[in-house]
Amino acid sequence: MKPFTFISLFVLIAMIGCNNENQSQVKSFDLEDVKSISVEHLIKEIPLDFLVRFGDFMLTDDYLVFNDQASINEKGIHLFDKNTFEFITSTEIH
């Protein structure tokens, strides 16, 4: 009988806790309020003379850093100029 009492008490507390008193503060989403902008003219191609497979990009000061996780050569950290995407150098992963 104790498990039934415990479960009943848990369900009662859950129902009280899920009571939504903030329905007046809820705003419905209207698709007509969404504004779209075109960024097609802002897209730049990154010229890569080496094979990049899997990794992550980070912006640091004036550099775009690519950490190549699956490098097939021994250099896995590549530095680019953030504004022009010009390749600067690569370093080894230790």
- For the chain, the structural domain boundaries read 41-94
Tokens representing 42? 């802002």
pLDDT of residue 16: 75
* 67 Cβ neighbours under 8 A, 6+ residues apart: 55, 56, 57, 58, 76, 77
Q: pLDDT digit string (tens) for 52-93?
A: 667 788 898 899 888 877 656 667 788 888 888 888 888 876
Residue 32 CA, chain-centre distance (Å), reads: 26
Torsion angle of C-alpha atoms 66, 69, 70, 76, degrees rounded to 10: 50
